[in-house]
Structure 1
């Protein structure tokens, strides 16, 4: 089977799996995963840096793991929090997390910053310390599969180029996801050359550190 056909089949299966998780379980797993992210990764990262963080995160939608507890926590600690907005057909732009009244229903109904919220320039992508992305399924080697639009693959490529241009040293940018236990596969997700891998998975039971990517 062609790798793209394999990915389409996996997306169909995992869309059903995720939608079948009860709202109670989604809420519980999301909150616990966010707590692990703060205690085990973000708090120590702030301590090592000796400063606040610049964090990028998706805004959760429908049956995705809920990012709101994590974002509230980052805001309370003074972190710079960036969120995405679909910009045309092929990319996302980054914007400072606005007040709730300045979030609107964007492409596919996904919440995003209103049009008057200024864009975070690509030239400042090198300031980002931590990236949290959505997905349908994950494996224990850092593999991820999304819905197939490629927005986050292109964003990660932009981020990589920005880091290379700035020759950023020190702490690497951490790439992570919140994951329901039902989303973590024992086998490998089919990956193409443009697909990026993750460093961390935050789950209800703790943080999974991806080794040897």
Structure 2
């Protein structure tokens, strides 16, 4: 079985595993994982940055959908601390753009029912990608080497490649994911172009890959 087939098989398996977690359990674990991210990573990053530049962080995160780990608590805490929160929008042609999150009134269901910024919300320019400090990446399966299986669209892999082009203008951000324990596997089948994560946010702890 080649890598693509292994990915497809694992994607189906883990989608079923995640969907089988009770809704109340998902909610509680999501909030706990967000708290781990805030307390152990974002809080210290914000403190270090404020000493240098006197401003908040810039966070790029997905807007959770269906049985994904919810990012709601994390977004709320970031906004309370004066951070800039960016969220994605996918066009009909399959291009992902970033937009500043200005509250629920700026969000509407997209083509697949996934919440995303309305067309009227300005695009965050690629020239400012270097300002991003942390990217919260969605996914279905993860391993302790930073491997991740997404939904097959390759949006975040291409985004990471774009960021490499602006590294000299700001820097490469950290990449992390919120996940449930059931989503951890021994090894994710990976290809050379696949994004590698730096952090895994679980309800009980933060796992540092590097």
TM-score range, shorter chain: over 0.9
Partner of 1:42: 42
Cα shift readout 1:103-137 (whole Å, capped 9, x = no counterpart): 11113111001000000000000000111010001
Deviation at 1:39, TM superposition (A): 0.4
129, 139, 142: which one pairs with 1:138?
142
Name the CA shift for 1:29/1:198 in 2 (closer, same or farther; >3 Å): same
80, 99, 114: which one pairs with 1:110?
114
Greater mean deviation of Cα atoms: 42-51 or 87-96: 87-96
Do residues 208 (structure 1) and 207 (structure 2) align? yes
Deviation at 1:157, TM superposition (A): 1.1
**Moved >6 Å (runs of 4+):** none
Alignment map for 1:86-97 (pairs within 5 Å): 86-97=90-101
The residue matched to 2:112 in structure 1 has which SS? helix
Deviation at 1:89, TM superposition (A): 2.8
The residue matched to 2:119 in structure 1 has which SS? coil
Deviation at 1:99, TM superposition (A): 2.2
Cα shift readout 1:169-198 (whole Å, capped 9, x = no counterpart): 6xx51100001011111x110111110100
Cα distance in 1 for partners of 2:92, 2:162 equals: 16
Are the aligned partners of 1:91 and 1:155 in contact in 2 as well (CA < 8 Å)?
A: no
Structure 2 spans left out of the alignment, 5+ residues = none
The residue matched to 2:165 in structure 1 has which SS? helix
The residue matched to 1:81 in structure 2 has which SS? strand
Are the aligned partners of 1:91 and 1:154 in contact in 2 as well (CA < 8 Å)?
A: no
Deviation at 1:163, TM superposition (A): 1.4
Do residues 70 (structure 1) and 69 (structure 2) align? no
Please tell me the root mean square deviation across aligned C-alpha atoms, in Å: 1.1
The residue matched to 1:108 in structure 2 has which SS? coil
Cα distance in 2 for partners of 1:91, 1:192 equals: 21
Cα distance in 2 for partners of 1:183, 1:69 equals: 20
Partner of 1:14: 14
Cα distance in 1 for partners of 2:38, 2:103 equals: 22
Partner of 2:196: 197
Cα distance in 2 for partners of 1:134, 1:161 equals: 23
- Give TM-score, length-normalised by structure 2: 0.95
- Give TM-score, length-normalised by structure 1: 0.94
Partner of 1:156: 160
Are the aligned partners of 1:15 and 1:136 in contact in 2 as well (CA < 8 Å)?
A: yes
